[in-house]
């Protein structure tokens, strides 16, 4: 799927702004042929939850409605017009002038539909019914229940099976874009790099709709100069003296793809891409032939007021804070991030582990670590979960969306599933096979291993190229005792290294809740001093393990979660506050990360 851009043959209209909004009342049917009976306003893109002062809006579970009127200029109505949602969380029914145009389930990937047949002259009315319900068929997974109140009204509830707030709404831009009816529909780019001779053979596969006499691909460098050209829907071109895309040193070429008919360009699309080579070999993650060390974060799309909604100013600030610290990577925990963020990471040289929204794949979500010393168990997870269809769908949609991004170096199939529970391998094996089949660039695969699934309990590590671990020795285990935490950290990492000497391993989460401004002479948990000591302890062990290739801490910034006695105003594991103010540990991590090279470390 191509990102909507304006070119010589395409126009993009943005429907961001103020929409009408209302909660659905089960006792009042909505007539989509009439304007919504509401005067309430809601900004798009953004979550709806934090824009209202009404608690029934913030905590609403069920269905909501959005509506906006728009007009399409006469000059565009002879073009093919497409309505495109960057995302709608979590399920959407889209009506244009009272007619159902498109339905999509899955809250973090784009969807679109041609709209010409339903357009009218003058004002058009776009109406969206949205559901934020999560259950054992959806990703993420939620524990869904419903009951009747004393008046007989249906009361729905989602108890999130994950540790972040179930923000919902039209989180990403809603756009209309035009194309000619003979158009370029998709572009697949696969660079194959010859590092010794400093050149790249770039393969292109162009999908079209309608008919062209010729498809032409021109490769432009960052100065806009032509460096290669080829013709055909399945073709390739060679870049000599190639500029490689490197961590924090991005170089982006542009593939200018033209559909030509009767000697004239009918449609043109410009797709940026980077040339780089990633592979896993002998316990290392190689980036352009050199060992790469991941330094960075798990984070969330989470800001004040907008919730999970797109905020490009925060995106720019977050990456600038990362780069200043010497960080080079992030994981899109725990769902695909916005296309705007992915394009920004391409531009800024931030390396990305791209994750599906498969979080909560366990029979219960809690902090009971009593299974740590047990082998594989059968807790019923894989009998209860009915998520295979959703999982397959999101793998297809994620790879289709992000296949050309140079920043994406690895796919994460899930976060913290019950990989210790019998049936896990049988669930995940087909999903890993599907991802390997779909990715044209054959990137490495992983899933993020929960702390319950130590080497003798985990059933799925054979499927991954990189072992990704979430571990909290010194916090959820050995709370406050960093000596024991260090011992547990070292013992488990050595156990993984012995069992899988050919696989690199990394931490994709480790952290300690820390209240900004809390200090302690005794380095008590929740103090800024304890957070720094915690990270120093982990760093010491990381440096001892030969195949340990990266540290992505949890979390970049404090973030909102559901209510619970474990959380006060959300999760406080951020090394920045939710407002992006630094905690004490930022200074230490900046010194550490800026002293570790991105490439060539731990040769």
pLDDT in tens, 318-342: 999 999 999 999 999 999 999 999 9
Note whether 183-273 and 291-595 share their fold: no
3-state helix, strand, coil in the chain (%, to 5): 20, 35, 45
Model confidence at 134: pLDDT above 70:
yes
533's enclosing H/E stretch is: helix 528-542
How many Cα atoms sit within 13 Å of 278 on the Cβ side?
Answer: 27
From the list 79, 114, 111, 109, the residue with the least C-alpha distance to 99 is: 114
CA torsion angle 370 373 378 380 (round to 10): 30
Q: What is the pLDDT of residues 550-592, one digit of tens each?
A: 999 999 999 999 888 888 889 999 999 999 999 999 999 999 9
In the block, which residue shows the tokens 């660079």?
191
Q: What is the pLDDT of residues 493-541, one digit of tens each?
A: 999 999 999 999 999 999 999 999 999 999 999 999 999 999 999 999 9
Model confidence at 413: pLDDT above 60:
yes
Q: How confident is the model at residue 269 (pLDDT cuts 50, 70, 90)?
A: very high
Residues 6+ apart with CB under 8 A from 563: none
Beta-strand (E) ranges in 309-365? Answer: 329-331, 351-355
Q: What is the pLDDT of residues 226-248, one digit of tens each?
A: 999 999 999 999 999 999 999 99
What is the distance between the alpha carbons of residues 474 and 472, in angstroms, rounded to a whole number? 6
Quick count: other Cβ atoms within 10 Å of Cβ 123? 10
pLDDT at 366: 58
Q: What is the pLDDT of residues 282-312, one digit of tens each?
A: 999 999 999 999 999 999 999 999 999 999 9
Average of per-residue pLDDT across 155-163: 94
Q: How confident is the model at residue 407 (pLDDT cuts 50, 70, 90)?
A: very high
Q: Which residues pair with 258 in a beta bridge?
A: 216, 268
What is the distance between the alpha carbons of residues 482 and 538, in angstroms, rounded to a whole number? 9
pLDDT at 8: 97
pLDDT at 372: 54
Model confidence at 186: pLDDT above 90:
yes
Q: What is the pLDDT of residues 339-378, one digit of tens each?
A: 999 999 999 999 999 999 999 999 876 556 665 566 668 8
Quick check: 63 and 129 in contact, CB under 8 A? Answer: yes
Q: Which homologous superfamily does the CATH classification assign to the domain defined by 291-595?
A: Glycosidases (3.20.20.80)
From the list 350, 354, 355, the residue with the least C-alpha distance to 326 is: 350
Average of per-residue pLDDT across 479-488: 97
CATH no. for 12-179: 2.60.120.260
Domain residue spans of the chain: 12-179, 183-273, 291-595
pLDDT at 602: 83
Catalytically annotated residues: 416, 509
> What is the per-residue burial (b if ≥16 Cβ within 10 Å, else e) of 52-78?
beeeebbebbbbbbbbbebebeeeeee
Q: How confident is the model at residue 52 (pLDDT cuts 50, 70, 90)?
A: very high
CATH no. for 183-273: 2.60.40.10
Model confidence at 423: pLDDT above 90:
yes
What is the separation of C-alpha 442 from the centre of its chain, rounded to a whole number of angstroms?
19
């Amino acid at each position: 799927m191509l990102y909507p851009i304006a070119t010589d043959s395409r126009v993009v209209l943005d429907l961001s702004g103020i929409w009408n909004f209302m909660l659905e009342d089960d006792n009042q049917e909505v007539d989509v042929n009439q304007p919504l009976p509401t005067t309430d306003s809601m900004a798009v893109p953004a979550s709806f939850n934090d824009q209202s002062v009404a608690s029934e809006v913030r905590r609403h579970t069920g269905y909501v409605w959005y509506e906006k009127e728009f007009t399409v200029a006469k000059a565009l109505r002879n073009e093919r017009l497409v309505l495109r949602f960057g995302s709608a969380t979590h399920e959407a029914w889209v009506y244009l002038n009272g007619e159902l145009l498109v339905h999509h389930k899955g809250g973090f990937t784009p969807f679109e539909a041609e709209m010409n047949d339903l357009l009218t002259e003058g004002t058009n009315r776009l109406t969206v019914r949205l559901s934020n319900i999560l259950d054992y068929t959806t990703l993420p997974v939620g524990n869904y229940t419903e009951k009747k109140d004393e008046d007989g009204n249906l009361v729905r509830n989602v108890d999130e099976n994950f540790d972040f707030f179930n923000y919902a709404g039209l989180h990403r831009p809603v756009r209309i874009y035009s194309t000619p009816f003979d158009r370029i529909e998709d572009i697949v780019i696969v660079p194959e790099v010859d590092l010794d001779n400093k050149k790249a053979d770039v393969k292109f596969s162009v999908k079209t709709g309608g008919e062209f006499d010729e498809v032409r691909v021109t490769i432009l460098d960052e100065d806009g100069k032509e460096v290669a050209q080829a013709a055909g829907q399945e073709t390739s071109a060679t870049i000599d003296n190639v500029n490689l895309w490197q961590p924090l040193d991005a170089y982006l070429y542009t593939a200018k793809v033209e559909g030509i008919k009767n000697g004239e360009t009918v449609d043109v699309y410009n797709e940026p891409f980077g040339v780089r080579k990633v592979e896993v070999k002998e316990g290392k993650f190689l980036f352009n032939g050199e060992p790469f060390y991941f330094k960075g974060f798990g984070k969330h799309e989470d800001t004040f007021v907008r919730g999970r909604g797109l905020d490009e100013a925060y995106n720019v600030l977050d990456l600038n804070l990362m780069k200043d610290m010497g960080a080079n990577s992030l994981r899109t925990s725990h769902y695909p991030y916005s296309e705007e963020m992915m394009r920004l990471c391409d531009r800024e040289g931030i390396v990305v582990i791209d994750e599906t929204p498969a979080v909560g794949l366990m029979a219960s979500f809690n902090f009971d670590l009593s299974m740590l010393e047990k082998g594989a168990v059968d807790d019923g997870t894989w009998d209860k979960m009915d998520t295979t269809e959703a999982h397959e769908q999101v793998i297809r949609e994620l790879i289709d969306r992000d296949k050309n991004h140079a920043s994406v170096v690895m796919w994460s199939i899930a976060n913290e599933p019950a990989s210790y529970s019998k049936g896990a391998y049988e669930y995940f094996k087909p999903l890993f096979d599907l991802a390997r089949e779909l990715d044209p660039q054959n990137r490495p695969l992983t899933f993020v291993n929960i702390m319950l699934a130590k080497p003798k309990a985990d059933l799925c590590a054979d499927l991954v190229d990189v072992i990704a671990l979430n571990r909290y020795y010194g916090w959820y285990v050995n709370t406050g005792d960093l000596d024991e935490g260090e011992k547990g950290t070292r013992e488990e990492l050595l156990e993984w290294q012995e069992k899988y000497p050919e696989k690199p391993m990394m931490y994709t989460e480790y952290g300690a809740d820390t209240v900004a401004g809390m200090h302690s002479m005794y380095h008590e948990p929740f103090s800024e001093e304890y957070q720094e000591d915690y990270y120093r302890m982990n760093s010491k062990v990381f440096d001892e393990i030969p195949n340990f290739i990266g540290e992505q801490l949890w979390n970049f910034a404090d973030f909102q979660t559901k209510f619970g006695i474990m959380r006060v105003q959300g999760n406080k594991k951020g090394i920045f506050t939710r407002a992006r103010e630094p905690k004490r540990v930022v200074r230490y991590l900046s010194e550490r990360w800026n002293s570790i090279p991105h490439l060539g470390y731990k040769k």
